[in-house]
Structure formats: C-alpha cells, structure tokens
A and B are shown apart, each in its own frame.
Chain A
Amino acid sequence: MMKKGILKSLIKLINTEPQFNEQSNLESIELKKQDISIQYERNLATFKTIFSVPKNIDVKTREFTIRSFNRRAFIIYFGTMADHDQIQRSIVEPLIENEQPLSGIRDIVSFPVEKTSTNIGEITEYVTSGNTALFVDGDHQCYVFETTKIQGRSIEKSDNEVIVKGPKEAFNEKIADNMSLIRKKIKNENLIIESHVISKRSRNDLLLVYEKDLVNDELLQKIKSRLCSIDKDSISDLNLLEQFLEERPRSLFPTILNTERPDRAVSFIEDGHIVLLMSNSPSCLILPATFWALFHSPEDHYLRAPYGNFIRILRFIALFISVFSSSFYIAVTNYHVGMIPPDLLMAIAGTRERVPLPSIVEILMMEFAFELIREAGLRVPSPIGPTIGIVGALILGQAAVQANIISPIVIIVIALSGLSSFIISDVSMNFAIRMTRFLFIFAAGFLGAYGAAALFIVGLFYLVSLKSFGTPYFAPMTPHFFSGKDLIIRHVPMKERFRPGYLKPKDVVKQRKGST
C-alpha cells in the first residue's frame, strides 16, 4: 500500500497537467445566470449576442406586434430544429391576427405545450434543443413552446441483432421514438423515464428508464451517482458513455449490455434492470449486465423451449470451439502428438511435410488473415462486398495451400473457429472472444495443454471477479441467487417464476406457485 502511494505521488510529480492559455468565458457564464429584462430591446440584443444572430444562419428571430395588447414581441428559434409551419400557424398568426382584448398569451396561442422561464441560461438551453421562445415587451417572463422537430431516420429493422421470430423494429437516433418504442410495450404508470444532462458543454441528454416498483433503489442511486461523477465537456454517444460507466474500461470483457432491440430492453426493464437511452444513439445500455445477458440472444425465448435450448447449446459449443480450436490444434500437434489417431497423424504429417513454418506461425498467419477478411468485409462499400469473400476464400485459402505456406488442416481449424465466433451476437462479447483466442494460441504454443489450462483458469478467476455495478459476472449461477434459472438452458416460460435476485428487486416473484 505504502509503496503504491509513493509511486503514485512520484508519477503525479512527473505528469503535471500542462498549463494552457485559455480564454475566460466568465462573462457569458455570468450573463446566463441573470434573469431577462422587461425591456424588449434589451432582451433582443442579449439573445442576438448569445446566438450570434447574423452570423449563425439557422437562428431565426422574428419581430412583430401583438395586436390584442398592442405590444412589441419577438420569437427566437432554430429553423433547423423546430417545426417552421407549426410556429407560423399556431404561434405567430394568432398573435398577429387576434384583435379581441384577452387576458394572456395562453388564450391567444393555439400551440399546446407551454413553459415559462425567466433565467437567460435556461431559455438558451430550451432554444438550443429546438424550442421556440417568445418575448413580450413589458413582460418579465418568457414563453417557451415545444416545437422541436428534428430530422432523422424512421424506425427500421434491426441490423446487427437479426432474429427470425419475434419483433423486428429497432431503436433509431430520435430519442422520442425510442421512448415510445419502450412505452408502448409496457403500459404501466410505474415505468419511469427520467432525464439527466451529463456533459457540461454539449449538454447531452440521457434518459434513465426503469420501473419504479421493481428497481432496487440502492442500485438506482449507485448508477445516478456514477452518472453525476462524469466530468466531461461532451459525451455525444451512448457507446462513449458506456466506456465512461464501466468499472474496468481496459478489461477485455464487457460489463454493460448494449442492444438496439427495444423488446430486449423491455424484457430487462421488467426484470428490474435500468436502461439508459441517449439522443442520437440508435441503441440502449442495460445495467447491470452479467455474462449470461451478453451471451443470450432474444430469440432463445421467442422460440419454443426445445428449439431455443438447441440454439443455446449450439452457441455454448461454438463459444468453446471459437476460443479453443486453434490452441487445441497447436497443443496437440506440438506437444501431445499421441492424441491423434495414427492414420490421421500420418495424413497431417503428410500435408505438413512441405510446409516450412512451425504450426503456431501457420495458425497465427491464418487467424490474422481471417480477421483481415472480416474487417475488410465490414468496411468495404457494399457493392464490392461479395468480391472480398471470394478473394479471401479463394486466393488466401486455396493459393496458400498450393504454395505450401500453410497446410490444409489449418484452413479447416481456422474456418471452424471463425465461423463459430460469428454465433456470439453481442458485438463486445464477440470481440472479447476473438481476442482471447489469440491469448490461448500463445499459451498453447508456450506450454501446450498445461499452458492453455493455466490461462483458462486464470481467465476464470478474472471473470468471476468482474462486477457490473455490484453484480458478479456469473450471477446468478455463482454466487447463487434466486432467478428464473435462465442460464445455459432455459426452462419453459411457466417455470421462470423469479426476477434475478442479484438485482434485489422490490418484487422478486413474477408468478406465484400454482397460478398457472
């Protein structure tokens, strides 16, 4: 402990933060703390400077006279973020045309949602998120209309988590759409959608979604305090936020589930998890996440129990094949030759006879080539896509064998492990599996089965010690908790009677015994 302390202070001494010659924005911060004036001219000038009006082309201001009061007024909004027609039809026109002397703005304007505010900073925030602000001469407050209309993609099919049976829609970049996708699946007043602002400069919105009567308050508090502790100018995307939230950002294995399927998010909310949504991100984060959440696919539950379990077991085997097949090949051919049946051994030896490289180099070369093909296939523009496959398979495979650079059996091994790795659908988990594969190749190359076994158990020690917001990675299997017993094998839905106990939900039992 002591040593660490000394080391830390030494490092601190060396790595001092460099001094920057920054310009102070104290003036504008002070300005934002003030209230608006009742003088029309002054307000106009203030907001024109705040929004740099002539320079900033999409900020629209419009000055007019409210006929019924006979007072000057102006509105300010972003033309690119607000609904122009709506503003014209329901705010400006009534104000200009109405002649009857009425008591207030609310009675004239037909636009429904309205807030009032006096603080300059707050109004600025509203306007930047697409609202329209109305200032009236002589009035000490400002009227805000929610006129936001942002351009974006409509709700589309899920691309990355494809399933055959079950709902197809996916989250998109519009946060209002995402909210409604969740809300329409849980018709319950206890579903809470709470808003948070997480960064200081860009003021990125974040929504916390949970069920009030399920979620554990301690967990909720923990997540909120973690969110508050983030001190950053801008976090523009949910995937960036994911890295800020994780306890071990350098770890190979993910501890937060990132999904683009609303049905999946909903099923987790109904178990007492907390879901984070962010504007501009077509996905959501589910906290806390265990190994099982990352390993499962929503289709496991949509299919009938035997079919769902069939693909579960398939995936489980694929997980092992993709991690161990290459290292197994290396261990067996280099250290434990006796394991191979004599006939097969002769065949392998025959094909390897003219290959000049050691088998570990062969395997590494091919693994590397496979990863290259995979990455290239992703990045290449879609019309050329199929070509990459042909080039990869034909040229790299066939030609490399003919050129005696690698032996044919290596191609089988690599193809098997590569193919299996596609079965893990979660992107982060997929990466983790692919990268551990390389570690195992080195371990097996170093000490055969003993090296691989040692690495395996070290990996297990590491994995069980991982925690996602206090939840152990392999919960509820070990340490044991009450749960729906949905681990490697899932039961029929009637038997899944409990919510996961590691979340300590307020209501553990989903279905009382004998109620079917």
Chain B
Amino acid sequence: MNQQPIKLGIREYVSIAVLMVGAKAMEDTPAMLFKQVHNAAWMIPILSGAFFFITLFLLLKTLSVFQDKNLFVVIQLLLGRFLGFIVCLLIFLIFSFAISIDTRTYTNIINTFYFNTTPKQVIYALLMAVCAYGAKKGIQHVGSVAYLLVFYAALSMALALFLSTQDSNIQAMLPIWGTGKLEIMRNGVLRISTFADFFLLAMLIPLLKSNKEFRKGTWIAYVSVIIQISVSVLIFICMFDNSLEGIGYPFHTAIRYISLGSYIPNIEIVFFVIWILAAIIRFTTLLYIIAMMFGHIFKIKDFEYLIPSLAAVYLLIGSIPESTIDVSLKLKLYLTYTIGPMLTAIAIILWLAALLKGEFKHAKNKNSM
C-alpha cells in the first residue's frame, strides 16, 4: 500500500532527545567529571550547557535559513562540494567511533553489574541486534517508542534519585568551587561533548513537520537535559562524596545501594530495565542517524538496508579493546576532548560561511517579500 510516511512529531522528537542525552547521567560521565573538579562536578553540565548554547544557537540559526534541509545538505551547500564532503566524512567517522565506544561502555556496564557470568559477546551482539532492528523500522517508530517510554523513564529516574537522597549528605557539596574556578571553566569548555548529540539530531530536520518545531523541540530537550544531568550529578556527589572518584558508574552503584523500605532491599533490576530501554533508544537513534549520514555521503538512497551491516561493523570495532579500563579511561577521553571543540568549530565555520555568503540577508529578503 502506498502511504506517505508520517512525520516525526515534536513530542517524539523531544522524547528521543531527552532519552539520548539524558542517558549520559546514568553512565560514567558523573564519575569522570568528579575526577577533574571534585565537588563542583555538578556545575560542569550547566557550564558546558551554557558554552554549547553558543554552538547550538549558531547552528540552529544557520539551519533555520535553509528550510527542511538536513545538516549534511547545509554543510555541502555552504562549504562547497569538496570541503563539504571532507567535513561530512569527518563527522561520520567521529560518530562511528563514538557509537562503537559507547555501546562497548554499556556492554561493560551490563556485564560488570548485572550479568557477570554471561559472555560479553552475547550481551553486545544482542544490544546491537535490537538496535539494528529498531533503526531499520525507521526514526518515526523509534520516536513513538521513545514517547511511550519517556515518562516511565523520567519517573523511575526521579524515584531512584529521590531514594538516593535518603542516605546522602548535602554538605558534600562543599567546597563549592571544588578544585578551583579556573579548573571548572576549563572543564566546562572541554566537556561540551556531553551535548554533542544535539548536533547529530540536526540530521533529522527534514523528517520533522517544520524547522520551527525542530528548534522548539531542541530547546525544550536541551534545557531539561541540562537540569537532569546537573541534578543527578549533584545527588551522586551528595551520596558518595569523595568515594565517587573510585566508582566507575555511580548510577548503577546508587541503584544497588538504595532500597524500598526495609522489606525490599534490592530494586536495581527495575531501574536496570528502564535504563537499558533508554539506552537502546539512544543507540537506535544514533545508528539510524549515522546510517543516514553514510547514505548521504555516498549517495545511497535506501540507507535503511545499510543499518544491519553498519551495526555489525560497529559491533566488531567495539569488540577490539580488550579491557574495560582501556575503553572508558583512554579511548573515551580522547573522544570527549576532540568531539566538543570540533563540533563547535564546524558550527562557527558554517555560521561564518552563511554570513559571508549573505544567506541570512537573502532569507530575510525572501521573508519580507
């Protein structure tokens, strides 16, 4: 039957964005933040949010000139065919690397915290298979599932955090500046990669109803995600204080610690299920967007067929590092420190290019006509 595809609604888009970026609070990001700035770690998401705001603002402003065109089309329009191709390829490669590392991180979490005896390969393969299946269904359906889940995910996250506050100590916030104001600023800049996923979501513009809806949705998701990450880091700091440095994945340690009254001592499985559902949504979206990029770069129209093979490739790349330490301490660090500045640079270059080419004026004239 011939049906025109239903566009991604703003609800679905916001749900995807919230689940995708919000998941960062539930992996090793809080611990890594704590390592650098100690008790002031909760400020970093706000600060980098503020810094990334500039990037995002410039990007959205540039994109708003080109109605219903996705990021890659805009890049190629503004930077020319050759340079545009190089930049697109760069973004694609970086995020390919990022998805491999991230899925591997999640596999490590599942393996160390919940399924110690299950072979890592089985867990990893299942994760990728599920993501590939979901991505192949299309982003509209991923969005629908995200929307169905987002409330329960938010609710359970809030419950987990609330239960964590019972045994925590608000004085752990002090000293309020942690390792020093300068250090906080420096890390705030370096850590803008936390929000890098918003950059990727710009690929979805043509699938949304309008550019305006995209911008609105992005801002809603952006603000809620900043608050969410910051609050959860703060709660983890209050709960673990200095020992946070030695904890790899504070969220998972926290949900193991908390209990529902004295009769039900362990409820981590409930939170684990919600967490894994959110994680699957995150990787499914990432996989879909990356496949879309790949299709765009190499001019493949039916890129959905690429998804299973791409998933298999990332599964293989992600399996290369031998130990968990390698992944989260070395590789991820490189990635974190390169992605942020690179994306900011691209956003600024795009904006400058648009400015110099007079696209803004052009659009204004068009509107006034």
Contact = CB atoms under 8 A, between A and B. Distances in A.
18 contacts: A1-B302, A331-B269, A342-B265, A447-B126, A450-B276, A454-B126, A454-B130, A454-B276, A457-B130, A458-B134, A460-B149, A461-B134, A464-B141, A464-B148, A472-B144, A478-B9, A479-B7, A480-B11
Contact of A450 (B1, B110, B265): B110
A331 B263 CA distance: 20
A452 B238 CA distance: 33
Given A336-B266, A458-B130, 7 more contacts: A247-B1, A331-B269, A335-B115, A339-B264, A450-B276, A457-B130, A470-B3
A73 to B, nearest CB: 52
A467 B141 contact: no
A457 B130 CA distance: 8
A380 interface: no
Contacts of B3: 467, 470
Interface in B192-250: none
Contact of B272 (A449, A454, A462): A449
Interface string A193-211: 0000000000000000000
A465 B269 contact: no
Interface residues of A, number: 35
Contacts of B263: 341
A335 B113 CA distance: 12
A347 interface: no
Interface in B124-143: 126-127, 130, 133-134, 137-138, 140-143
Interface of A: 1, 222, 247, 331-332, 335-336, 338-339, 341-342, 447-454, 456-458, 460-462, 464-465, 467, 470, 472, 474, 477-480
Contacts of A462: 137
B25 interface: no
A335 B263 CA distance: 20
Interface of B: 1, 3, 6-7, 9, 11-12, 110, 114-115, 118, 122-123, 126-127, 130, 133-134, 137-138, 140-145, 147-149, 263-269, 272-273, 276-277, 280-281, 302, 305
B148 A456 contact: no
A461 B137 contact: yes
A415 B123 CA distance: 32
A149 B132 CA distance: 59
Contacts of B302: 1
Nearest to B140: A479
A444 to B, nearest CB: 11
A267 to B, nearest CB: 26
A342 B12 CA distance: 42
B145 A464 contact: yes
B102 to A, nearest CB: 17
A465 B12 contact: no
Which of B12, B115, B122 has the most chain A CB atoms closer than 10 A to its own CB? B115
Given A336-B269, A450-B123, A474-B148, A461 B277 contact: no
**Which are the 8 A-B pairs with shortest beta-carbon distances?**
A464-B144, A478-B144, A478-B147, A461-B134, A338-B266, A460-B145, A464-B141, A453-B273
Secondary structure at the A interface, as helix, strand, loop or mixed, is helix
Nearest to B281: A457
Contacts of A452: 273
Contact of A457 (B110, B114, B145, B269): B145
A50 B255 CA distance: 80
Contacts of B110: 450
Contacts of B143: 478-479
A478 B12 contact: yes
B272 A479 contact: no
Contacts of A480: 9, 11
B137 A479 contact: no
Contacts of A447: 115, 118, 122-123, 126
Nearest to B127: A454
A389 to B, nearest CB: 35
A3 B164 CA distance: 54
Contact of A461 (B6, B9, B141, B269): B141
Contacts of A477: 147-148
A417 B335 CA distance: 48
Given A457-B134, A457-B280, A479-B12, A449 B269 contact: yes
Contacts of A461: 133-134, 137, 141-142, 145
A331 B141 CA distance: 28
Contacts of A454: 126-127, 130, 276, 280
A275 B114 CA distance: 50
